[in-house]
Amino acid sequence: MPERYGPRVIEHLVNPRNAGEVAGPSGVGEAGNAACGDQVRFTLSLGEELRLEEVRYRAYGCAACIAAGSALAELVEGRTIVEAARVSRGELQEALGGPLPPGKEHGVTLALDALHRAFEDYWSRQGDALLAGDGFGDGSGGRRGVVAAMSGGVDSAVTALLLKERGYEVVAVTFRLHDGEPGSRSCCSPDTVLFARETAHQMGIPHFTLNLRELFDRRVMRDFVGSYAAGRTPNPCVACNAHVKFHAAAFLADRLGLRHVATGHYARVGEGPCLERPEDGRKDQTYVLWPVPRELLVRTIFPLGDYRKDEVRRMAEERGLAVARTPESQDICFIPDGDYRSFVRRRVRSEPGEIVDRRGRVLGRHAGVVNFTVGQRRGLGISASTPLYVTEVRPESRRVVVGSRRELEVREVLVRSANWFLDPREAALVQVRYNSEPVPCEVEENGDGWEVRLLEPVFGVAPGQSAVFYTRDGTKVVGGGIIARRDAA
């Protein structure tokens, strides 16, 4: 009922500000839906210095949505896009004279979300360079500021907080990579995007969302599915770091005139630039960061490289951040249930075939090669007197080769698509799986890539995985590449 609302809300209802539509808008955003009756729509026009020259809204449904839309449009018009992206729930509530009545708080949420979706639409209209793979510069002309990727977890939140406390101008960004389900733990679910924004605003940091679905689909998901169909074992986190996250953060930093980018990875940037191991060896993520281009690495800051995980959680608790006890994220963000085989099967046709030993003797049949990866022991569907492992996947003949653990032993690999931070001659150790220990190696270039001789045998090396090279003391990443071939001992 109208009498439940305060005088400022009534004023916005009686005398709404900025109602209507911007002709030829720079960005459009909507939140809510007509089915439930509450919907807010923002259109905006940006001018020089990314200033919001004109902001218009339309709201349908309850009085709270209409008043919140009016108040927010009035608040942000004339501000820069960064200033507008800092406007928090508390600031909007203050403009409305305080919190809305119980059951009506969603009006503030919908208005803010509609505005941020308009910002998201604006950045998407600038994103052709990202899709082309050249959407970033060297940051040399930027001011002392940083775009910090924020996933909704504790690591990325503390990253942004530390940078702010060190005096950087910080802008947070969350990437919408795929269609995460509402209520899920996926880094891209609508709930997680809202949570990340609330956390950034709690720290007084502006927040943007970038829609990278098309780029992520092109450069990560298609490769993931195609790799399994081709008998390789991909690492989607490596592909995302190589082609999506760091490029997108730099893209936004360039357009905001900021010099640096940052993520919540546990790593360090050393001279060269090169990657260095972090303080917390148990959280070391250098293995998945090897493909970051040198021109991006020189702009990158990893604040968590100097801390242990328990220290990061303690800092979040001491500063009252709601993310302090969020659980660790799942391995593959776009497969929240962890069943990657079902995910691949839904997207690629895989014909039945034979399971054979290394001499070609048929031991059984399978439903498709996408169900298998090198080193796999469980789920083979055959019985034997000794344990059998997948030693090779041959999609062209639809055969899966199995053998003893001894037959998984590898002494040489061919590595392609290499990215070097230091002189390849400094490569003395190589790590061929995320959770494995580096082993001594020798590296030699040939016309087809890099031949890597392992001075100790390694088991379960799978084409498609990464080979990451370290200096003799194991502290610095020399470079990395993708394993294209493995030669048994």
Q: Where in the sequence numbering do the catalytic residues fall? A: 240, 333
Give me 249's structure tokens.
Answer: 């953060």
Distance between CA atoms of residues 285 and 434, nearest Å: 9
Q: How many CB atoms lie within 10 A of CB 63?
A: 20
Q: What's the CA gap between 311 and 261, in Å, rounded? A: 22
Tell me phi and psi for residue 159, to 5 degrees.
Answer: -55, -50
SS (H, E, C) 435-484: CCCCEEEEEEEECCEEEEEEEEEEECCCCCCEEEEECCCCCEEEEEEEEE
Question: How far is residue 389's CA from residue 376's CA, in Å, rounded to a whole number?
Answer: 5
The residues, any chain, with a CB within 8 Å of residue 322's CB and separated by 6 or more, are 195, 198, 199, 202
What is the arrangement of strands in the sheet containing 169-176, beginning at the earlier edge strand?
207-211, 169-176, 143-149, 258-262, 300-301
Burial 142-180 (b: 16+ CB within 10 A, else e): beebbbbbbbbbbbbbbbbbbbbeeebbbbbbbbbbbeb
